[in-house]
Amino acid sequence: MAGAQVEEPLADAVRSALSAAIAFDAPPKPQFSAIEPRLAYLRWLGEMSERIKKNKSEAQTRLEFLETVWYESVRAGLEPALVLGLIQVESGFRKYAISVAGARGYMQVMPFWSRLIGDGQASRLFHMQTNLRFGCVILRHYLDIEKGDLYLALGRYNGSRGRPEYPNLVMGARKRWLMPGKT
């Protein structure tokens, strides 16, 4: 589903902030100050693990993927269900997916981002944590540019801004990844 996302000029301050946001620290194991948030996280991991089993059959790989999705989503101020919906639409959960436009990995990150805010090595976009971090940071950047308008931010992420098909697909896929009782 990756569209022709456009490389836009970034102000130096924005480039610096985005570069700092993708620094390659491995996600830590989550720490919770109370038992209820920890239990909610563990329920989420268990539920999502069952739902994603057909896409990621190996238990350890599935757990590492979900832990990283959760961490990078929360780190960027995004809903994990939204990120999982975006991954479902963009790559079908394929780590080595490459679009016709050249976008790479789970979140279909365009290679120019590795030059703009990374170290210039686009091959690193196939590394799970790197791809998820870049994708979440970029989506957060677009949400900030679009003043919180998710529809426009998703269109910008995909390179299809103003057209409803892509945002509608992602928002539809998001529903599959919501915990029971969420909307």
Q: What SS3 state is found at 107?
A: coil
- Measure the CA–CA gap between 62 and 174, rounded to whole angstroms: 18
Q: What SS3 state is found at 109?
A: strand
The rounded percent of the chain whose pLDDT value lies above 70 is: 86
Q: pLDDT, tens digit, for every residue of 63-107? A: 999 999 999 999 999 999 999 999 999 999 999 999 999 999 999
Q: pLDDT, tens digit, for every residue of 39-67? A: 999 999 999 999 999 999 999 999 999 99
**pLDDT given for residue 158 in this prediction:** 92
**pLDDT given for residue 181 in this prediction:** 76
The answer to whether 107 touches 91, Cβ cutoff 8 Å, is: yes
For range 6-10, the mean pLDDT: 71
**pLDDT given for residue 60 in this prediction:** 93
**Contacts with 108 (C-beta within 8 Å, 6 or more apart), sequence order:** 1, 2, 90, 91, 97, 99, 135
> Taking all residues of the chain, what is their mean pLDDT, rounded to a whole number?
90
| Residue 120 per-residue DSSP state | S
Q: pLDDT, tens digit, for every residue of 108-131? A: 999 999 998 888 899 999 999 999
Give the bridge partners for 109, in sequence order: 104
Q: pTM here? A: 0.86
Higher local confidence (pLDDT), 158 or 28:
158
Residue 150, CA distances (Å) to 48, 81, 166 in order: 23, 14, 11
The burial class, CB within 10 Å (0-12 / 13-18 / 19+), for 114 is: buried
